[in-house]
Each structure stands twice: as structure tokens, then as C-alpha cells.
Amino acid sequence: MSQLTYEVITRPGLEPETAEGKPPLPPLEYRVEESDGIRIEHNAAIPMRDGVRIYADVYRPAGTATGLPVLLAWGPYGKHNQKDMLWPGAGIEPGWMSKLTGFEAPDPAYWCSHGYAVVYADPRGMWHSEGEGVHNGPQEAEDVFDAVEWLGACDWSNGRVGMLGVSYLAGIQYIAAAMQPPALRAISPWECFSDWYREFCYHGGIPETGFIPRASRNMGYSRSRTEDTHANVLANPLMGPYYQDRYPDLTRIEVPAYVVASWTDHGLHTRGTLDAYRLMSSGEKWLEVHGQKKWRYFYQPSSVERQRTFFDHYLLDRGPGPADWPKVRMEVHDTAEHYSIREDLPWPIPADRSVRLHADVQARTLAEQAPAGNSSTTFDPMTGALDLEHVFETPTDVVGPMRLRLWLQADDTDDADIFVAVRKFAADGTERRYAFNALFEDGPVALGWLRASHQALDPEKSTELQPVHLHEAEEPLVPGEPRALDVEIWPTATFFDAGEKLTVTIQGRDFVDREANLNSPVIMHQDLRNRGTWTVHHGPGRESYLSLALFAPLSHQ
């Protein structure tokens, strides 16, 4: 492993026996059992290049089957952390998962019945695995490479390894594929951030304070020491090597990839999954984007059948695979339950499709025609909000990321933590809410964030639809002086009928507010710099506007 140029903060591992919400950790002993037609090899030792051994459970069809393709599920939550249902709010129905299913992992009962081996691996330093725990970065990149090659060389393997899973189990696929182990033949990452700073730790430069502590604890169960993710995030408030090293260069991904993202995981996975797809160099890659709860979508039978169609082709030379699939397939939601399917749009959405809706901040409207003259409005961002409204005259699909340009001044302080929610209202005034963060139904159309002192943009990566901030230094505001700020709003695909309203809500606090819970993926931001009032301006030389991409719905073309 190359020498790091920064210090990684570690801590003594949390006692595995104290893991909350997880089954008891079985003792470290190698044993083999057969049950319901599956041979289970517990605690198979996989050697790493430095002599460290990590432990895996290997599920195979019972008997002496050989020539098996391998599906590797690699994550820090415990290979013993199995369940046949997730939380009730996940929407998973009885019978979709067997009792062998690991958290966010493929179900061994299903895959073994179709001629696959499934391997659950505990990474270095997690649970019983040896060494000190790390979370992504160069060491885990080497480890997953070694594990893939070891599995490909097993005497029962056909030499082909695929990877499948959600969240951490998806992000590790980015890493493995970029390392290019020869035995890795196909990946299917379902929803994971690909930029630790912008998507996981700091949203627009605002520290995330709900999910990070929870995730840090859940990745801390070890017999030795582990990386203290929460402490490292606090110690690195700006973009730098710690975050840049979490993933290799994703343009090095060349294996076939079936990538699945959702519009509903703002603040965690939406942006990064879509960006990972964009960066992959794979000649054979497919993108599917839905607007439903992510765990439900992953485990529903029709999704599992598509997963098998993909892997059967690349790991078993069985069937045509995804050859006739559209390269990009996306749901465009009207309500949470009703949506259409589009297969005619590329990803990313071309910036030349953007339209600007100009703000009249006194009338609180957004329109394609910029208002004449100057206007401004003042409000308290912690108790109030600024709503800017646009009523559609014709049926319209809004697809892709958005950019909100604000001329904003903090009247009483030198920084501002800006929270933006894009919302949909039916013609009768009813607000439409959508699936949100795996368990909830109260999400808006889209969310965006920016700490004003992080305003500097990367000129090479920013577009009219997506500002990309550098986050390398802070440039405080001057109290009472307006400044042009560009807020990145994460992608969506939402239908607006004639007479329906898109509302941009601007405030200084989370739009969706709930209590953090150790066992719930709650996104929160409580470490804020707001004080006093904000004034938003619009006028010649100080144009505030929303950039977005608009398309005629297929049924109306």
C-alpha cells in the first residue's frame, strides 16, 4: 500500500458482543453445514498479501458442485447480520428474503438455487477478521482485489466473480472494479455515494450530523482497532487527501456494469450513484433510476430477476443478458405511487437542455421572463422561509440536477448555511411527497445545500445545471453585502401537469426534520452558522434564478 500523506484517526474496536440491533456474533471457528440444499462454509480464511486473514462465509449448492460463478458481498456490518425482513418502513414483503440474507446483500437461498456461490466477507479489522479496520481507501482496495482473485482461484469456482449489493456493498464495487482484478467479470452496484466529502460527510460544505455518527458506530465492531470515521470527518472539514483517497479513479472501471440509482436518497446515494455511472469507462453499462424505497426496490422479485439476467450472461454465458435493455431507464414520478418510464434520455442530461426560471423575490415567483427592475426580500432563515413558485402551463417532465443562483446577503453574520427544497403542489394545492431515505414517505422532489463560505466553484466540472464546489477553503461573507451563490440541487425526475406548481423553498435548516436514531438512516445538519436575517436580491447584474432541464412527457409529444 502506498504511504499516506495524512493521519487517519483510529480507535479501539467496539466489542462485537455489544452490537445493537444485530444478532449475537458466533464464535470464530471453521465449520461446514448443509441446510435446505445449501452448503455453508463458515469462517473461511482469505489471505491478504500482507499475511492478514479476513473471514468469509461461503454459500454453495449442496453436494460437490464445481464450476460455480461467485457473487461477492463485502461490507462492514457483519456477515452474521442476517434477517428475512428489514424494518417495517422499508416496504419489503414477506417471502422476498430468506433468513440467510445479509444486510443489503443478495439472498444466498435464491442465488444458490440458480447455480451460484454467494460469499459474505467481513473486511479487515471488522468482527473476527484480522488487522486494523479501514473504510474504503488504498488498504481496502488492495484487500478486495486479493479477495476477488482468491475466490476466482477456488477449486469449486469457474474463475468468474461478480459483485452485488446496496450502499457500502455497492461502493466497494467501484473500488474493486477500478483495481481491475482479472477474476472480476461484472458488477451491479445499487446505490452508493462516490464522493465521500460532497455526498456523505458535508453537504454543500455543511457537516452532516445524523447519519455519520450512526454509520461510524456501525462500522466500529472489531477485535482490534478501527478507523474512527466520525472523528476523521470532524478533523477534515475541507476537501483534501483523506476524502480523495477513499475511491480510486472511477474511469478505470471497465467491466460490464448494471448500475441502479434512485431519486429518493438525497443526502446520501442519489448523486454519487449517478456520477459513478457517468465516470465508468465500461463499454457495456446500463443505468436504471427509480423513485421508490431503495431496499424494497432491490429485493422485489422483478428486480432480482433482472440481476440474474445480467449475471447469468457475464458469469455463466447463459442467455442474452442485458443486450436489449435500454442504456438508461428512468422512472418519472407524478405521485409517489404513479410514474411513467423514459428510455429516450441520456445520462447525464446535457447542459444545453437547461432553462432559466428567473426569480421575482418580492412577488415570490419563478418565470422564464426576467422581471424588470430591482427587488429584494428579507426573512429569518431559522424560523421562516422564502418560497419561489412556478406554475406550469403545459405538461412537463423535470429531469436531472438543478442549479439555484442566489444573490444573498447575511445581514448580521459572515456565513450562511442554505437549505433548498424543490417541492411539487397539485392544482388543488395539495403537496406531493415522495419516498425518502429508504424508510420514509415525506421527501420533497429534490434537496440542495450550500455553506456560503464554500462558494468557490470548480470551473472544469461545473455546468449550467450542476455547480460543483471546490470546498478547499472558506471565503466568509461580508455582513450586509450581497454575493452570488450557486446551490447544487441533487437530481430528480418529476412530472408536472398543466396547472401544477414547482416551489423552491429556501431556508436555514433541514426541510425534513426528525430525530436521529441508531437504527434509522436519518440525515441531519445541526452544526450551523446561521444568525440573524438574510436578504435575497434580484435585478440587473444581480440575477437570481433556477436552472433546470425541461422535457415534454412522452405521452404528450
pLDDT band at 557; cut points 50, 70, 90: very low
Q: What pTM does this model have? A: 0.96
pLDDT greater than 90 at residue 473: yes
Per-residue pLDDT reduced to its tens digit, 415-456: 999 999 999 999 999 999 999 999 999 999 999 999 999 999
What average pLDDT does the segment 138-155 reach?
98
pLDDT greater than 80 at residue 181: yes
If you count DSSP H runs as helices and E runs as strands, how many of each does the chain have, helices first? 9, 29
pLDDT greater than 60 at residue 518: no
pLDDT band at 516; cut points 50, 70, 90: low
Q: Where are the alpha helices (DSSP H) in 236-279?
A: 241-244, 270-279
Rounded Cα–Cα distance for residues 300 and 14 (Å): 34
Per-residue pLDDT reduced to its tens digit, 218-230: 999 999 999 999 9
**Treating both helix axes as pointing N-terminal to C-terminal, what angle do 137-152 and 168-179 enclose, rounded to 10 degrees?**
80
| Cβ-proximal residues to 200 (8 Å cutoff; 6+ apart), any chain | 193, 208, 211, 212, 268
Paired strand residues for 323: none
Selection from 295, 229, 286 nearest residue 262 by Cα: 295
pLDDT greater than 80 at residue 457: yes
What average pLDDT does the segment 24-46 reach?
95
pLDDT band at 21; cut points 50, 70, 90: confident
Percent above pLDDT 70 for the chain = 98
Using CA atoms of 215, 220, 225, 229 in order, give the dihedral in degrees to the nearest 10: 10
Rounded Cα–Cα distance for residues 557 and 451 (Å): 40
DSSP structure class, residue 199: I
Selection from 385, 410, 379 nearest residue 510 by Cα: 385
pLDDT greater than 90 at residue 212: yes
pLDDT greater than 60 at residue 88: yes
pLDDT band at 1; cut points 50, 70, 90: low
- Pairing mode of beta strands 328-333, 285-290: parallel
Number of other CB atoms surrounding residue 377 within 10 Å: 17
Per-residue pLDDT reduced to its tens digit, 66-86: 999 999 999 999 999 998 888
Question: With left for phi above 0 and alpha for psi between -120 and 50, is residue 319 left, alpha or beta?
Answer: left
| Cβ-proximal residues to 21 (8 Å cutoff; 6+ apart), any chain | 518, 519
Residue with cell 474463475: 159
**Cis, peptide link before residue 459, omega less than 30° from 0:** no
What's the confidence (pLDDT) of residue 555?
74
Classify burial at 30, counting beta carbons within 10 Å of its beta carbon; exposed 0-12, middle 13-18, buried 19 or more: exposed
| Cβ-proximal residues to 425 (8 Å cutoff; 6+ apart), any chain | 431, 432, 500, 501, 503
What's the confidence (pLDDT) of residue 521?
77
Mean pLDDT of the chain: 95
Backbone angles phi, psi at 109, to 5 degrees: -60, -40
| Cβ-proximal residues to 76 (8 Å cutoff; 6+ apart), any chain | 122, 123, 126, 133, 135, 168, 218, 219
pLDDT greater than 70 at residue 124: yes
Per-residue pLDDT reduced to its tens digit, 483-504: 999 999 999 999 999 999 999 9
pLDDT greater than 80 at residue 404: yes
Per-residue pLDDT reduced to its tens digit, 334-387: 999 999 999 999 999 999 999 999 999 999 999 999 998 899 999 999 999 999
What average pLDDT does the segment 323-328 reach?
97
| Cβ-proximal residues to 213 (8 Å cutoff; 6+ apart), any chain | 230, 516
Backbone angles phi, psi at 211, to 5 degrees: -75, -35
What's the confidence (pLDDT) of residue 85?
83
The residue length of the chain stands at: 557
Per-residue pLDDT reduced to its tens digit, 265-306: 999 999 999 999 999 999 999 999 999 999 999 999 999 999
Question: Where are the extended beta strands (E) located within 302-438?
Answer: 328-333, 339-342, 354-360, 365-367, 375-379, 386-391, 396-410, 417-425, 431-432, 434-436
